[in-house]
Amino acid sequence: MKKGVIFDLDGVIVSTDGLHYKAWKQMADREGIYFDQVINNRLRGVSRMESLAIILERAEKTYTDEEKLEMASMKNELYRESLSTLTPNDILPGVTPVLEKLRAMGVKLAIGSSSRNTPAILKQIGLGDFFDAVADGNQIQNSKPDPEVFLLAAKLLGLPPEECVVVEDAFAGIDAAKAGGMKALGVGDASRYEKADITAPTLAEIAPEKLIE
């Protein structure tokens, strides 16, 4: 039995895709850059600056590093404003019962997210003090598919990687978990990914015992 479960945040605990999309769309429209939901899907689990680089693939001019930082910062301000609309009702189906059951079984619980807004999101959905450890985009140099954020989460839990399971919705996140030597459960988009050890459409469809076996 595994001793720890590391949850990705966006797309696993709460869905902020739509909020990221709206903020990036406003930035892209301002610059006259084409951006749609299909391109937005490629941003899942990817860091803020890497997301911007994907959006700028469609740009007709090249931007300086300073301009890129300004665009990312504008997007983040819009995104931060929209986070104030999140409430505990936005926690995805099946998440709360799974968290409660795992905790009752003595399993340690962590967050491993690329998002630098992780503390604000957890606070908004009422889980600010819930997890035993939080590793996020503020503490790492290399984002998923690099395993850094999950290795940090395991370290903060005081567990070796092989004692941990990662729950992810992004292909890059599954790759990161496997690169870190961890078992990976793919949900949402990643439930179609053959590299995941186990898959489920949502956390509501997986028994906690199965997750940590």
**What is the set of active-site residues?**
8, 10
Among 156, 170, 172, 203, contact with Mg ion (rule: CB under 5 A)? 170
Q: Retrieve residue 176's tokens.
A: 């990161």
Burial class (CB in 10 A: 0-12, 13-18, 19+), 131: buried
Residue 9 found at the interface with ligand B16 (CB under 6 A) = yes
C-alpha distance from residue 149 to each of 11, 95, 134, 142, 199 (Å): 16, 21, 9, 8, 21
Chain residues 18-37 in contact with ligand B16, contact rule CB under 6 A? 20
> Does residue 124 touch ligand B16 according to CB under 6 A?
no
DSSP 89-122: GGBPTTHHHHHHHHHHTT-EEEEE-S-TTHHHHH
- Considering only residues 38 to 97 of the shown chain, the ones binding ligand B16 according to CB under 6 A are 43-48, 51, 76
Q: Which listed option, Mg ion, ligand B16, none, makes contact with residue 43 (CB within 5 to 8 Å by class)?
A: ligand B16
CB 45 within 8 A of CB 193: no
Residue 178 in the binding site for ligand B16 (CB under 6 A): no
The Cα diameter of the chain in Å comes to 55
Residue with tokens 């998440």: 95
Least gap, CB of 2 to Mg ion (angstroms): 20
The stretch among 100-108, 109-117, 176-184, 194-202 that binds ligand B16 (CB under 6 A) is: 109-117
Which residues contact Mg ion (rule: CB under 5 A)?
8, 10-11, 45, 169-170
Which residues contact ligand B16 (rule: CB under 6 A)?
8-11, 20, 43-48, 51, 76, 113-117, 137, 170
